Amino acid sequence: MDGIQALDGIAGFDFALYEKSILEPIKKTVRVNTLKAEVDEVCQSLESIGWNLEKIPYFDYAFWMDGISPGNSLEYVLGLICIQDPGSMLIPELMDLKKEIRVLDLCAAPGSKTTQISQIMKGSGTIIANDASSERIKGLAMNIQRCGCSNCLVSHTDGRNLPNWGKEKFDCVLVDSPCSGLGQRGLKRERGGSEKYSPLQRELISAGFECLKPGGVMIYSTCTFWPEENEDVVNSLLESSLNAYIVDVFKEIRGKGLDCVNSLVDGCARIYPWHNRTDGFFIAKIRKDERD
């Protein structure tokens, strides 16, 4: 993990805490799919077959669990639960989702956040779930079907093409970008990746913003910590789009009781793996001004 030490001291990054938290055992976490069942009903059923559930305090519908592999359960196959990191679950909660709106999830596979967005919107409105990968799109389609997300449509193209037909058509956009993945626990990562990802990320954030209606909200997120993939990407959008404004998601996350640090771009948040027992994320929330 040599190169990662270069991040020490940047925007609250602590290499020693990173090294410790990234390799410690991870508790599995499940989200109850409220499109299909009530939370209490699913919990009772899981506890009756010996699952030991501990409620995650920041969500009404999510639990840490011990023992059994949740992917091998009937409840999983039936789409009553999804396996998802709680840091990932935070992101749809920050999107100002409402019933009946039109949402674009630009980099959606395998659909953890898409299916959660669908559940928050109570199956109403429309979600276009797009991904460029032929392999990963299969998992996305399966998860959407398994979870009964009837408001989701799958699109398979490079996200940079979406403004061709989606310009200013969406109330809400998520760009959960491909990245070098330093924040994912249980994986040892080496330096590198930012050079590969940063140009693509700049194009994806720009495409996502083009697709946003005036007045709409976009989230840009990664699970990595290099400024080249995070703050620099957000700054490139702010420089090229005079109608792009940062919404203070740092305060919003703190208000939900989770720990995070203010990023190098004021109002964007960095969640490190040692903060809340979650994977690490960078999150920016951007509003498109109504005026040009």
Ligand X SMILES: C[S@@+](CC[C@H](N)C(=O)[O-])C[C@H]1O[C@@H](n2cnc3c(N)ncnc32)[C@H](O)[C@@H]1O
Q: Six-digit token pair at 136? A: 């990963």
Q: Which of 62, 108, 218, 284 binds ligand X (CB under 6 A)?
A: 108
Q: Out of 111, 125, 208, 273, which residue is the one contacting ligand X (CB under 6 A)?
A: 111
Q: Which is nearer to ligand X, 7 or 83 (CB)?
A: 83
Catalytic residue among 43, 82, 211, 223: 223
Q: Does 88 sit near ligand X (CB under 6 A)?
A: yes
CB of 111 to ligand X, least distance (A): 5
Here's the x/- map for ligand X, 45-84, by CB under 6 A: it reads as ----------------------------------------
* 125-147 burial code (b ≥16 CB/10 A, e <16): bebbbbbbeeebbeebbebbebb
CA dist., res. 256 & res. 15, Å (int): 26
- When asked if residue 107 is in the footprint of ligand X (CB under 6 A), the reply is yes
Alpha carbon distances (Å) from 114 to 63, 154, 156, 190, 228? 19, 10, 14, 29, 26
Q: 54 has which bridge partners? A: 64
- We find the least distance from the C-beta atom of residue 154 to ligand X, in angstroms, to be 12
| Dihedral sign (CA 258, 262, 268, 271) | negative
- By the rule CB under 6 A, 112 interacts with ligand X: yes
State which residue, 35 or 106, has the beta carbon closest to ligand X.
106
Q: State how far the Cα of 203 lies from the Cα of 51, in Å rounded to an integer.
A: 44
User: Nearer Cβ to ligand X, position 176 or 210?
Assistant: 176
132-191 residues in contact with ligand X (CB under 6 A) are 132-133, 136, 158-160, 176, 178
Read off the tokens for 207. 């495409």
Rank residues 70 and 110 by Cβ distance to ligand X and give the closer one: 110
Q: Among residues 17 and 83, whose Cβ is nearest to ligand X?
A: 83
Minimum distance from residue 139 beta carbon to ligand X (Å): 9
CB of 21 to ligand X, least distance (A): 20
Scanning 59-67, 72-80, 127-135, 225-233 for contacts with ligand X by CB under 6 A, the matching segment is 127-135
- DSSP characters over 219-258: EEEES---GGGTHHHHHHHHHH-TTEEEE-HHHHHHHTT-
Q: Is 223 a catalytic residue?
A: yes
Q: Tell me how far, at minimum, the Cβ of 108 lies from ligand X, in Å.
A: 5
Question: How many angstroms separate the Cα of 43 from the Cα of each of 99, 198, 215?
Answer: 26, 42, 39
Q: How far apart are CA 195 and CA 113, in angstroms?
A: 26
Catalytically active residues are 223
The site for ligand X (CB under 6 A) is made up of 88, 106-113, 131-133, 136, 158-160, 176, 178
